[in-house]
Amino acid sequence: MIAPPKPNGLTSAPNDEAPSLSLCTRLVNCAKDAIILQDLQSRILWMNRAAETMFGWRLEDVRGLPGVSVMADTNLPTKFHYDLQSPIFDRFVVACHKRRDGSEFWNQQTFAKVEPIHEDQNMMILVSCRDISEQVQTETALRQTQEELRHAAYHDDLTGLANRKKLQGYLETPLVRDALKKQQVGVLQLDLDKFKEINDSFGHAAGDGTLIHVAEALRRSSGPQDLACRSGGDEFVLICPKVASIEALSDPG
């Protein structure tokens, strides 16, 4: 059984009702979260079995080494000293750490100050670690799905251009409103001639290819503040704010 170190270690209470040090150690070793005891220089004094499993290091291999050596956190300096006024003691800290085998995981940490019991002892830091990689992956996938749904709500599925809903919102932006007041908004509307004949003669795949080709041409011709939109089956609109004349709108440059 792994016991806490003698110097700066835990001590049992003098009364019989308090749990013994051996029992406390057993209880901490049963915890699912990794628990690491450090000094103010972040040197490892003790850690439970969950910490050994999480990081892949045995206590005897890392006792006395800085925590950065175990967690492989490249954001921390090798010479580290805890600031007792730091906000890390009041919040969760999430970081990407590495195990001994090099595999990465997301580590949610909490930090607590352990006040000395006797005058000859120093303050220690208790670090609790929880692997939240699965939670992070789930949240990342959820955010990606939300972004995809948001994009789908405002863009045409086939061409990727803005749809009517996106166009409506764009026309209400301060950029376009200001340009409208100054009569500096250019509008290009395109209808594809004989598009039905393309579908009837060559099939819908050829029709879709034609629409995609037109959309790409509009996208290449759009400026960073312009909006290219597929407004209907074979209808497209290009909105160009801050265009002062028809000549400027027609200028491919």
Instruction: Tell me the pLDDT of the chain (253 aa) as tens digits.
Output: 344 444 444 444 444 555 566 777 788 888 899 999 999 999 999 999 999 999 999 999 999 988 877 776 555 566 788 999 999 999 999 999 999 998 999 999 999 999 887 777 789 999 999 999 999 999 999 999 999 999 999 999 999 999 999 999 999 999 999 988 888 888 888 999 888 888 888 998 999 999 999 999 999 888 889 999 999 889 999 999 877 667 666 665 5
Cα dist. 164→153, 167, 189, 231, 251 in Å? 10, 5, 13, 6, 26
Instruction: State which fold the 21-138 domain adopts.
Output: Beta-Lactamase (3.30.450)
CB 20 within 8 A of CB 12: yes
What string of DSSP letters covers 34-99? EEEEE-TT-BEEEE-HHHHHHHS--HHHHTTSBHHHHHT-TTS-SS----TT-GGGGS-EEEEEE-
Active site residues: 234
Q: What are the residue boundaries of the structural domains of the chain, listed by start? A: 21-138, 155-250
Q: Do domains 21-138 and 155-250 have the same CATH topology?
A: no
* This prediction's pTM: 0.61
β partners of residue 232: none
CATH 3.30.70.270, domain 155-250, yes or no: yes
